[in-house]
């Protein structure tokens, strides 16, 4: 039986961009940028993109394309003793899939709430209290209390992933991304056009881009930039590798990797403009300082922005559209995470697509129920912290060490260059072997020590 393939180059790129562009672009990027010196952050960020993001993307595309299989089998082909690393990456993806989907479920609910802004004036106590049901004793002991209001949106999110992966690479994943990605870009452009002309919006945007050059010598800013790049590009844990394993024989790897990275980072800029435009307008309307309205992570998307939406003209249109954008970005990433697991199972255990997709989506759904309980948010934060700060960086590092030091990296360079319009030279070898490895070591040590 021959391996499934992407139907077209555009289809592959849109799917890869769909994986990269996710919840992280819309709420994480603006906040990380702000926290790390605004405009001055772009220098480390662009540097990280060039020295780690693009080289790593080229490597993952090359490995997937060369060995035509998911992470466990690919890494086993590189070195038999490293099959476990492939399974470890698959396991990370499986865990991420189980909680990433919960945030999508929140966004689906908020999409519905946004029609009438049912979060009211106090979006904070609405989110944590009314919606998630947290009480002062929101301990893990509350993992038994399911939030029934989240069951339907959670099922919808899993259903989307199930349909896409069940129908397969071309008939499912490619098709859905070809619809979702253009719609997502249009949605964000429309929201920016509506927001940018509101009073105060430009101040918000300026403020995000205003360089604070004193921060550029701060090592924390550099580690934030590299951390954001690995996360935002979904490299290092089998996802891009699994998508690339379905590339046709004749594929321009280097060019595809550049396009994917540039479109993802471009989208981040757009999302930043949208979010900070809205925050600037909100600060203006409330007569408060911008610094007082900014908050991070979950809080930004589900607490601060709902309040901003209340103040917008036509909130019943802009609100649902904003959350719809979040849902589209999330679903297309979730599909890629699930597919990484499914590809791993199929290639190594010889299952067919329907079996692998059904098994994983059913199990994943059951496990993700844990995260929609009263203690769920606490668990989610904990797991997310460990995955992002330790497991993911460790997996990235080991993959780079394996490919860069235990294998002949020049073989991969040749493979990548063979059919590509432009070639990668020695800088690529250098970035993989030294720059990325060095930075990851620093980040990992930093995070492990910082946890104590
Ligand atoms: N790259 C995605 C984003 O920016 C996040 C993601 C994380 C995707 C993990 C897949 C896996 O949100
Ligand atoms: Na991203």
pLDDT of residue 135: 72
pLDDT of residue 452: 58
Give the number of the atom of ligand 1 that is nearest the alpha carbon of residue 22. 12
pLDDT digits (tens, 9 = 90+) for 129-144: 999 988 766 555 567 7
**Distance between the two ends of the chain, CA-based, in angstroms?**
51
Q: Is residue 36 scored above 90 in pLDDT? A: no
Q: How far is the CA of 18 from the centre of ligand 2 (A)?
A: 9
The CA distance from 145 to 147, in Å, is: 6
Q: Is residue 260 scored above 80 in pLDDT? A: yes
- Asked if residues 240 and 71 have their Cβ atoms less than 8 Å apart, the reply is no
Give the number of the atom of ligand 1 that is nearest the alpha carbon of residue 24. 12
Nearest residue (CA) to ligand 1, atom 6: 234
The CA distance from 70 to 427, in Å, is: 27
Residues 334, 383, 358, 236: is their CA dihedral positive or negative? Answer: positive
Q: Is residue 307 scored above 80 in pLDDT? A: yes
Residue in the structure block whose two tokens are 């319009």: 421
Nearest bound ligand to the CA of residue 28: 1
Q: Is residue 3 scored above 60 in pLDDT? A: yes
pLDDT of residue 49: 95
If you ran DSSP here, which 8-state letter would residue 389 be given? I
Q: How far is the CA of 29 from the centre of ligand 1 (A)?
A: 12
Nearest bound ligand to the CA of residue 301: 1
Give the predicted TM-score (pTM) of the model. 0.95
Residues 212, 214, 217, 218: is their CA dihedral positive or negative? Answer: negative
144 within a domain of the structure (yes/no): yes
Q: How far is the CA of 231 from the centre of ligand 2 (A)?
A: 7
- Segment 305-323 shows an average pLDDT of 95
Which helix (H) or strand (E) element contains residue 37? none
pLDDT band with cut points at 50, 70 and 90 for residue 327: very high
139 within a domain of the structure (yes/no): yes
pLDDT of residue 390: 84
Bigger pLDDT: 377 or 141?
377
4 within a domain of the structure (yes/no): no
pLDDT band with cut points at 50, 70 and 90 for residue 241: very high
Give the number of the atom of ligand 1 that is nearest the alpha carbon of residue 329. 12
pLDDT of residue 73: 95
Residues 435, 438, 441, 443: is their CA dihedral positive or negative? Answer: negative
The CA distance from 345 to 357, in Å, is: 9
- Asked if residues 267 and 191 have their Cβ atoms less than 8 Å apart, the reply is no
Q: Is residue 1 scored above 70 in pLDDT? A: no
Rg (C-alpha) for the chain, rounded Å, is 21
- Segment 232-261 shows an average pLDDT of 95
pLDDT band with cut points at 50, 70 and 90 for residue 145: confident
CATH code for position 49: 1.10.4160
SS3 235: coil
Ligand 1 neighbours, Cβ below 6 Å, are 19-20, 22-25, 96, 231-232, 234, 239, 333, 336-337
pLDDT of residue 61: 97
Q: How far is the CA of 49 from the centre of ligand 2 (A)?
A: 12
pLDDT digits (tens, 9 = 90+) for 188-220: 999 999 999 999 999 999 988 887 888 888 878
Give the number of the atom of ligand 1 that is nearest the alpha carbon of residue 264. 4
Q: Please state, in angstroms and as integers, the Cα–Cα distance from residue 403 to each residue in 69, 279, 417, 437, following that order.
A: 16, 43, 16, 11
- Asked if residues 245 and 69 have their Cβ atoms less than 8 Å apart, the reply is yes
The CA distance from 19 to 271, in Å, is: 16
Bigger pLDDT: 445 or 192?
192
86 within a domain of the structure (yes/no): yes
The lowest-confidence range among 53-62, 112-121, 204-213 is: 204-213
432 within a domain of the structure (yes/no): no
Q: How far is the CA of 285 from the centre of ligand 2 (A)?
A: 31
- Best residue among 16, 20, 236 to mutate for probing ligand 1's pocket (most ligand atoms within 8 Å of CB) is 20
The CA distance from 3 to 171, in Å, is: 14
pLDDT of residue 33: 87
Nearest residue (CA) to ligand 1, atom 2: 22
pLDDT of residue 295: 66
pLDDT band with cut points at 50, 70 and 90 for residue 374: confident
49 within a domain of the structure (yes/no): yes
pLDDT band with cut points at 50, 70 and 90 for residue 292: confident
Q: How far is the CA of 326 from the centre of ligand 1 (A)?
A: 12
pLDDT band with cut points at 50, 70 and 90 for residue 299: confident
425 within a domain of the structure (yes/no): no
Instruction: Please give the tally of structural domains in the chain.
Output: 1
- Segment 308-337 shows an average pLDDT of 97
pLDDT digits (tens, 9 = 90+) for 386-434: 888 788 889 999 999 999 999 999 999 999 999 999 999 999 999 999 9
pLDDT of residue 208: 84
- Segment 94-120 shows an average pLDDT of 97
Residues within 5 A (CB) of ion ligand 2: 20, 24-25, 232, 264
Q: How far is the CA of 431 from the centre of ligand 2 (A)?
A: 21
Contacts 24+ apart (CB under 8 A), 8-13: 8/174, 9/251, 9/252, 9/256, 10/178, 11/170, 11/174, 11/177, 11/178, 12/174, 12/243, 12/246, 12/247, 12/251, 12/256, 13/256, 13/259, 13/260, 13/263
pLDDT band with cut points at 50, 70 and 90 for residue 80: very high
Q: What's the mean per-residue pLDDT of the chain?
A: 92
341 within a domain of the structure (yes/no): yes
- Segment 101-122 shows an average pLDDT of 96
The CA distance from 10 to 449, in Å, is: 43
Give the number of the atom of ligand 1 that is nearest the alpha carbon of residue 29. 4
Give the number of the atom of ligand 1 that is nearest the alpha carbon of residue 330. 12
Segments forming the whole domain that contains residue 103: 9-381
């Amino acid at each position: 039986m021959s391996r499934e393939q992407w139907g077209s180059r555009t289809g592959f790129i849109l799917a890869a961009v769909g994986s990269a562009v996710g919840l992280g672009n819309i709420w994480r990027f603006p906040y990380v940028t702000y926290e790390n010196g605004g405009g001055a952050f772009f220098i480390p960020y662009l540097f990280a993109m060039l020295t780690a993001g693009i080289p790593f993307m080229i490597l993952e595309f090359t490995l997937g394309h060369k060995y035509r299989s998911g992470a466990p089998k690919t890494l086993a082909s590189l070195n038999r003793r490293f099959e476990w690393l492939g399974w470890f990456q698959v396991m990370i993806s499986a865990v991420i899939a189980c909680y990433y989907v919960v945030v999508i479920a929140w966004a689906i609910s908020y999409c519905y709430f946004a029609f009438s802004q049912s979060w009211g004036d106090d979006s904070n106590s609405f989110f944590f209290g009314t919606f998630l049901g947290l009480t002062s004793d929101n301990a893990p002991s509350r993992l038994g209390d399911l939030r029934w209001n989240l069951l339907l949106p959670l099922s919808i999110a899993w259903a989307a992933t199930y349909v896409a992966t069940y129908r397969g690479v071309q008939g499912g994943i490619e098709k859905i991304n070809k619809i979702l990605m253009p719609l997502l870009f249009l949605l964000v452009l429309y929201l920016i056009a509506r927001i940018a002309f509101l009073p105060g919006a430009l101040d918000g945007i300026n403020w995000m881009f205003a360089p604070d050059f004193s921060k550029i010598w701060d090592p924390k800013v550099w580690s934030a930039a590299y951390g954001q790049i690995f996360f935002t590009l979904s490299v290092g844990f089998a996802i891009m590798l699994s998508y690339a394993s379905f590339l046709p024989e004749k594929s321009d790897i280097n060019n595809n990797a550049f396009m994917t990275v540039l479109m993802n980072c471009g989208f981040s800029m757009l999302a930043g403009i949208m979010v900070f435009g809205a925050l600037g307008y909100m600060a203006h309307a409330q007569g408060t300082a911008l610094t007082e309205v900014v908050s991070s992570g979950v809080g930004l998307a589900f607490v601060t922005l709902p309040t901003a939406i209340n103040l917008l003209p036509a909130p019943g249109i802009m609100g649902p559209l904003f959350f719809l954008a979040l849902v589209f970005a999330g679903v297309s990433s979730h599909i890629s995470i699930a597919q990484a697991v499914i590809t791993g199972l199929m290639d190594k255990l010889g299952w067919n697509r329907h079996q692998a997709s059904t098994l994983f989506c059913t199990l994943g759904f059951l496990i993700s129920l844990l995260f929609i309980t009263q203690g769920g948010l606490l668990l989610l934060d904990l797991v997310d912290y460990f995955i992002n700060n330790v497991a993911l960086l460790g997996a990235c590092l080991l993959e780079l060490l394996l490919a860069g030091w235990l294998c002949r990296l020049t073989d991969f360079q040749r493979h990548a260059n063979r059919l590509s319009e432009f070639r990668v030279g020695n800088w690529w070898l250098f970035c993989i072997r030294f720059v990325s490895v060095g930075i990851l070591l620093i980040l990992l040590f930093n995070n492990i020590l910082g946890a104590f």
